[in-house]
């Protein structure tokens, strides 16, 4: 999930040794809400306890005044949050982390990211990211428009699968243009709630930040509140209450598949952020509930895998296409659903 630049206005060190990481201007129409709950919905990977501890330490400000966690925000409030760790750009340190490299040449590298690994440092993830590992393996990487070395695109922390990383400025420019021009190929496998009447289709609708929960993306009818997004899907298997899809991205918006599927009634299986970690289809009788919970335990994340990645090589001009096997957690969950569907004759 990319940083919301409208929300993160500045990252500076204060004279007290704290670092300002977040500054939010409360919308005029915001209803009365405790500041800790307000910040919980706007800062990724932060716990309520961490917010409350920051408030106790006098590190949450409205204007120039520190406030307690029960302060009720009002429209127009400028809320600033300070923490003791440094700003993100100071976290780009090499770390000897294992990286699954499936292809490498002098211009680029293709990696298979495991679920649970964050792509680049951010709030709540100050080390151990893919980018920290890349900086250890490759001493010099070109910076993208967001000053993140080597990164051409990204996938969410709990999404597994393929990414291409640029090793030179030329490769960065060439690959970034392909993603911008929508000529790259990206296919995902997704296990979603619900069945489909059709075998394939296309979901459209602009994607932008959710008006109330800034950690979610929402789908809008026009582009005034978001950016155009197009997701093509094909049903690969039907299990009655859930379906396995192949999703091909025509655009690459933040949480695109997750937001589109939620909007059109097919939330990703076990996608906690979008409500997929509840039983959305089927009854709630004890045996079925236990079965679903067992599947959640096998697959403790959203059921999304970046399986196929294709692009034109910047030097040779040839189409390159890579494919990655399904990780064990998703394979195990699919096996359970196949067995359940056969048993129930769904």
Known catalytic residues? Answer: 156
Q: CA 108, CA 96: separation in Å to the nearest integer?
A: 19
**Nearest C-alpha neighbor of 121 from the set 102, 99, 103, 95:** 95
The SS3 call for residue 174 is helix
Q: Residue 15: which H helix or E strand, with range?
A: none
Which residues are paired to 320 by β-bridges? 311
**Nearest C-alpha neighbor of 233 from the set 273, 270, 189:** 189
What is the CB neighbour count within 10 angstroms for residue 316? 10
First to last CA, the chain: 36
Cα-based angle 16, 18, 22 (whole degrees, multiple of 5): 135
Contact 175, 181 (CB under 8 A): no
**Nearest C-alpha neighbor of 249 from the set 311, 184, 192, 201:** 184
Q: CA 299, CA 291: separation in Å to the nearest integer?
A: 12
Backbone dihedral region for residue 58 (phi beyond 0: left; psi -120 to 50: alpha; all else: beta): left
Which residues are paired to 190 by β-bridges? 245, 304
Alpha carbon separation from 127 to 55, 68, 171, 206, 273 (Å, rounded): 25, 29, 26, 33, 23
Whose structure tokens read 């420019």?
173
What is the CB neighbour count within 10 angstroms for residue 29? 7
């Amino acid at each position: 999930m990319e940083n919301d630049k409208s929300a993160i206005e500045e990252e500076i060190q204060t004279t007290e040794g704290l670092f300002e990481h977040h500054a939010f201007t409360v919308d005029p129409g915001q209803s009365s809400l405790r500041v800790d709950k307000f910040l919980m919905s706007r800062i990724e990977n932060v716990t309520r306890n961490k917010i409350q501890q920051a408030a106790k330490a006098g590190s949450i400000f409205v204007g120039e005044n520190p406030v307690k966690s029960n302060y009720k925000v009002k429209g127009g409030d400028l809320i600033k949050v300070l923490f003791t760790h440094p700003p993100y750009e100071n976290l780009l340190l090499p770390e000897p982390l294992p990286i699954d490299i499936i292809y490498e040449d002098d211009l680029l590298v293709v990696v298979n990211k495991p679920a649970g690994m964050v792509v680049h440092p951010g709030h709540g993830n100050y080390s151990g990211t893919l980018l920290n590992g890349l900086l250890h393996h490759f001493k010099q990487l070109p910076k993208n428009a967001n000053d993140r070395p080597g990164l051409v695109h990204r996938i969410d922390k709990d999404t597994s699968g393929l990414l291409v990383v640029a090793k030179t400025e030329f490769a960065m420019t060439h690959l970034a243009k392909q993603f911008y021009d929508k000529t790259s190929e990206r296919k995902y496998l997704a296990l979603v709630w619900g069945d489909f009447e059709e075998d394939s289709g296309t979901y459209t609708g602009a994607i932008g930040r959710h008006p109330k929960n800034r950690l979610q993306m929402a789908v809008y009818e026009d582009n005034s509140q978001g950016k155009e997004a197009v997701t093509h899907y094909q049903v690969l298997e039907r299990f009655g209450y859930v379906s396995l899809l192949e999703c091909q991205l025509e655009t690459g918006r933040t949480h695109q598949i997750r937001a589109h599927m939620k909007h059109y009634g097919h939330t990703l299986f076990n996608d906690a952020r979008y409500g997929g970690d509840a039983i959305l289809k089927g009854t709630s009788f004890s045996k079925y509930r236990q079965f679903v919970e067992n599947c959640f335990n096998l697959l403790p994340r959203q059921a999304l895998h970046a399986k196929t990645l294709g692009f034109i090589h910047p030097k040779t001009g040839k189409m390159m296409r890579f494919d990655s096997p399904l990780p064990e957690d998703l394979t195990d969950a699919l096996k359970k659903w196949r067995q359940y569907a056969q048993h129930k004759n769904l």
